[in-house]
Chain A
Amino acid sequence: NAGVTQTPKFRVLKTGQSMTLLCAQDMNHEYMYWYRQDPGMGLRLIHYSVGEGTTAKGEVPDGYNVSRLKKQNFLLGLESAAPSQTSVYFCASRRLAGGETQYFGPGTRLLVL
């Protein structure tokens, strides 16, 4: 099993450009998450999904949109990238039961110039 995969691994954008980050998991997990990691701040939750067709805001949702059209995929979109969105983005997934472990993808490095 591949676990959680993320595409692309690295991307450079210019301010105002848009892009979509793709997360895929093959573990049949119900929950999926998008985090950003910035130096000295740990990981902060952007958006999450408790199942196909549902999404919810996390701690830092502004400037991002998400979609979960298929259970195995969770897309993170930046409509108009800003330098403040330069970060490393991690996707994670877990099973339904409370307290279950989240498993993370390898991350996507995004640089917005």
Chain B
Amino acid sequence: AQKVTQAQTEISVVEKEDVTLDCVYETRDTTYYLFWYKQPPSGELVFLIRRNSFDEQNEISGRYSWNFQKSTSSFNFTITASQVVDSAVYFCALSSREYGNKLVFGAGTILRVKS
């Protein structure tokens, strides 16, 4: 089975706070890919990052960072010093050969950043 769980339905923070969005995945495959997408209020889906199962190095891009831990099947996303423009729905997704390389999405986390 292939599954992505984003347990946090909604998070509210005040501007400049750090916030972490959790993502837990399930797959039997040893080769898989994890993704994060952002959906701002305008509605489009914006690709943020892709990580393959063989690369557990954490990644930082500006205020964004991602922590991939195979031992806990997690791929968490942290925004440092959050800004109002970070307000969006964030989706974690998984693809693997087991599932024909199709994407399976989590339900999404709504992030509200207040000024």
Contacts and interface: CB of A to CB of B under 8 A. Distances in A.
Contact of B47 (A40, A44, A101): A101
With most chain B CB atoms within 10 A of its CB, the pick from A33, A101, A106 is A101
B105 A101 contact: no
Interface residues of A, number: 20
A106 B97 contact: no
A90 B46 CA distance: 12
Interface string B48-63: 0010100000000000
A43 interface: yes
Contact of B50 (A33, A58, A99): A99
A106 B42 CA distance: 9
Contact of A41 (B37, B45, B107): B107
B37 to A, nearest CB: 8
Contact of A99 (B43, B52, B105, B106): B52
Nearest to B35: A101
A100 to B, nearest CB: 8
